[in-house]
Amino acid sequence: MGLFLYWAFEGIDSRSLWNAIAGISTLWLVVLVLTTLMTIALRAWRWRVFMRPFASDVTLLDASVALAICYAANVVIPRSGEAVRALSLNWARGARISSVLATVVVERTLDMIGLVFLIGASLVILPGPIEAEYPWMATVTLWALVGCILLLAALVVVSRSGARAISVVERTLGPISARLSGIVCRLLETFVEGLASLNTPSAYIEIAVSSIFLNVGYLLIIYESFLAFGFEQPPHSLGAAAALVIMAISSLGFVIPTPGGAGTYHFFFGESLHALFGIPTASAMACATVVHAVATVTYLCIGGPAFFLQRARHSRRIKSENPTGKNAEDPASQVDSK
């Protein structure tokens, strides 16, 4: 993170950076916050489609809060949020952690496929400058697309042949340890349960529509930042096409595991805005900083308190259900809960 922050802000005059940031009105900050909240709800909508076969009681609010907790946790420890959001739904609705994690794997795979298509669209919109600035991008995204499609196909196969896979594990581990076999098979069963949405063709339309709206929301955030900084006016005249290019390239910053995408997001956002569209470096980095800061502060303000509130409620519920302090759960359910 420190290295990317250094690369992103190297040589930029701090006064020019601050003047660019200070020029934004409070109204635009509010608009960016509201749009960020909208994207959380849209992602929660899509995520609920994946969880519907095994956790139909999870509401849009439950999923939205879990996602806010996820993003807040990622600011502290990169990638930890994926596990923490599963834990959040376990605390809130009793959803099986391994089943929820299976939906996270599918969701993130779809995110990567969507990112690849966005980069492909960017290469169509601005082929020459992007290839000159990022000569590796076309090759890397092509291989990423192949890998994501293969992973998604493998998940579909696992979801359809889960019973056979569990039977093989049971026959293999059973003679070694019946207890270990039971634990592994139970975890595998719940993971396959989380992939059940892949066996529901009717859910594909809802997943596609929610994914389109979600990416439109992200595109809107970038375009709103252009309006906030006046980039839509001459001589730059940046529009929706430029916003799509910046959205796609800056999203690469979240692929690299840094706390909350700090540093990497600033680097890809600011550098591409300057190199591809001629925005002054200080203004480009100011725009990247504001977009990232608004999202990060929003996630922390919602996700942080929600996590500790859920944790306290869960602890009180456990104590009320088991006042003696003895754990009556079977070993497999203990592992699943952990």
Backbone dihedral angles phi then psi of residue 219, each to the nearest 5 degrees: -65, -40
Task: Please give the pLDDT value at position 338.
Answer: 44
> From CA 333, how far away is CA 325, in angstroms rounded?
17
Contact in structure between 138 and 230 (CB atoms under 8 Å): no
* Rg of the chain in Å (alpha carbons): 22
Max Cα–Cα distance, the chain, nearest Å = 74
pLDDT means over runs of 10, the chain (338 residues): 88 87 90 96 94 90 96 92 93 89 88 87 87 83 84 77 70 73 68 74 87 95 94 90 94 86 91 92 93 95 94 88 58 45
Which residues, 6+ apart, have CB-to-CB distance to 308 below 8 Å?
none
Burial class (CB in 10 A: 0-12, 13-18, 19+), 170: middle
Q: Which of 184, 227, 194 is nearest to 54 (CA)?
A: 194
How many helices (H) and strands (E) are present in the chain, helices listed first? 15, 0
- Side chain identity, residue 214: L
- 30 CB burial (10 A radius; 0-12, 13-18, 19+): exposed
Say what the pLDDT of residue 169 is: 67
Cβ atoms 48, 210 nearer than 8 A: no
| Domain housing 134 | 2-321+329-337
Spatial CB neighbours of 298, under 8 Å, sequence gap ≥ 6: 33, 36, 37
Cα 242 from Cα 221, distance rounded (Å): 12
Q: Distance between CA atoms of 166 and 163, rounded to whole angstroms?
A: 5
The end-to-end CA distance of the chain, in Å, is 30
Phi, psi (deg, nearest 5) at residue 308: -70, -30
CA distance 83 to 87: 6
CB-based contact 85:66 (threshold 8 Å) = yes
User: In total, how many domains does the chain have?
Assistant: 1
Helices 178-194, 162-173: axis angle to 10 degrees equals 170
Q: In the prediction, which pLDDT does 330 show?
A: 44
Q: Is the pTM of this model over 0.95?
A: no
